[in-house]
């Protein structure tokens, strides 16, 4: 019996540590039918996943170990750093849970990620309130959150349905925590972050407008197809009624049905024309939204070029300024001759 005891314990441990299975039919619920996990591009993260993953029954052990690390962090500043590190682990684990298409584990990971970042921001604010210089740590955590939000945005752009909404909500939660951390940044860094936040918000709104226009267009195409089917069925019913009237030798009924058939044809034509026009308007709105998004990005790139000194604007202005000063000098000499 003693010989089999280690084997039995090993088997039990393997079962407990093994990730819970996920049925294939959950693919659509988790990633959307058009987003298989094998095609998801998840950008690289700076942290590694924990030893025990969120889809394991023993995940509580990993969380207990992290609580011990927090207990050993005696200052608020140290706690902020530890919580930021835990959030980094959750980002790495999110990638694995997406690949496994485990909806419950994805929910857990996103919830833990946003919670840890929020608590890191609270600990940082507490450290600052106690007079500690947290500017360097605030800069580090701020850059980490920026990277995390960028990763979530990249994954979100590849997904649809419930998962897309979850990633968007997580990104928004990280933004709210980031705003708190920005309050502890040096003044020059804070101004830069405010500018970047405004630019990002505008770009998000433009992107949402583009997505909304695309969704409207898709719905209108479906509506147009359904309307065409309904119109065809209505016309068939009228034609069958006319045939029946002919068979019954009911001239009055036949004439009435023919008039109704003509009226139905005209109504269906008008309806299809109106729906086609609505679809065209949606396509125009989509095109304008896409052009607006493209124009905004080009403008932002131009601003970046000017700030980094890679733009030719400075040299152009110098040349222009030189020629203006030259012509000004000519005027001046001419004015001197008149005075003589």
Q: What is the pLDDT of residues 105-127, one digit of tens each?
A: 999 999 999 999 999 999 999 99
Question: Does residue 212 have a pLDDT over 50?
Answer: yes
Determine the pLDDT at residue 311.
Answer: 59
Q: Which of 1-15, 152-166, 212-226, 272-286 has the highest mean pLDDT?
A: 152-166
Determine the pLDDT at residue 206.
Answer: 66
Question: Does residue 144 have a pLDDT over 80?
Answer: yes
Q: What is the distance between the alpha carbons of residues 162 and 249, in angstroms, rounded to a whole number?
A: 59
Per the model's pLDDT, the better-predicted residue between 225 and 323 turns out to be 225
Structure tokens at 218: 């898709």
Per the model's pLDDT, the better-predicted residue between 62 and 322 turns out to be 62
Determine the pLDDT at residue 328.
Answer: 42
Question: Does residue 270 have a pLDDT over 50?
Answer: yes
Residues 6+ positions from 26 with CB-CB distance below 8 Å: 101, 103
pLDDT confidence bin for 183, thresholds 50/70/90: confident
The helix/strand/coil state of 53 is coil
Phi and psi at residue 29, to the nearest 5°: -70, -35
Determine the pLDDT at residue 8.
Answer: 46
Per the model's pLDDT, the better-predicted residue between 218 and 124 turns out to be 124
Model-level pTM? 0.58
pLDDT confidence bin for 193, thresholds 50/70/90: confident
Residue 83: which of 45, 50, 112 has the closest Cα?
A: 112
Q: What is the distance between the alpha carbons of residues 293 and 285, in angstroms, rounded to a whole number?
A: 12
Indicate the average pLDDT of the chain: 75
């Amino acid at each position: 019996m003693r010989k089999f005891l280690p084997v039995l314990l090993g088997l039990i441990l393997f079962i407990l540590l093994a990730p819970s299975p996920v049925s294939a039919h959950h693919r659509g619920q988790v990633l959307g039918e058009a987003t298989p996990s094998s095609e998801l591009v998840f950008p690289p993260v700076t942290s590694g996943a924990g030893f025990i993953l969120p889809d394991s029954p023993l995940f509580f052990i990993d969380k207990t170990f992290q609580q011990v690390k927090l207990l050993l962090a005696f200052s608020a500043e140290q706690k902020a750093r530890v919580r930021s590190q835990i959030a980094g682990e959750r980002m790495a684990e999110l990638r694995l849970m997406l690949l496994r298409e485990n909806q419950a584990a994805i929910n857990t990971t996103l919830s833990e990620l946003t919670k840890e970042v929020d608590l890191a921001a609270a600990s940082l604010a507490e450290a600052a309130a106690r007079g500690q210089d947290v500017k360097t740590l605030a800069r580090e955590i701020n850059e980490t959150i920026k990277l995390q939000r960028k990763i979530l945005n990249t994954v979100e752009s590849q997904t649809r349905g419930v998962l897309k909404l979850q990633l968007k909500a997580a990104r928004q939660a990280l933004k709210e925590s980031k705003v708190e951390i920005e309050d502890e940044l040096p003044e020059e860094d804070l101004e830069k972050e405010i500018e970047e936040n405004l630019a990002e918000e505008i770009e998000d709104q433009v992107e949402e407008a583009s997505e909304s226009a695309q969704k409207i267009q898709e719905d209108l195409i479906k509506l147009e197809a359904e309307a065409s089917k309904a119109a065809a069925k209505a016309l068939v019913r009228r034609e069958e009624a006319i045939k029946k009237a002919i068979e019954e030798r009911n001239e009055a009924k036949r004439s009435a049905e023919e008039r109704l058939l003509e009226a139905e044809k005209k109504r269906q034509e008008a309806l299809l024309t109106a729906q086609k026009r609505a679809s065209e308007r949606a396509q125009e709105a989509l095109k304008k939204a896409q052009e607006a998004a493209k124009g905004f990005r080009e403008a932002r790139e131009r601003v970046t070029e000017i700030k980094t000194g890679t733009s030719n604007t400075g040299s152009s202005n110098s040349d222009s300024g030189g020629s203006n000063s030259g012509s000004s000098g000519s005027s001046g000499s001419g004015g001197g001759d008149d005075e003589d």
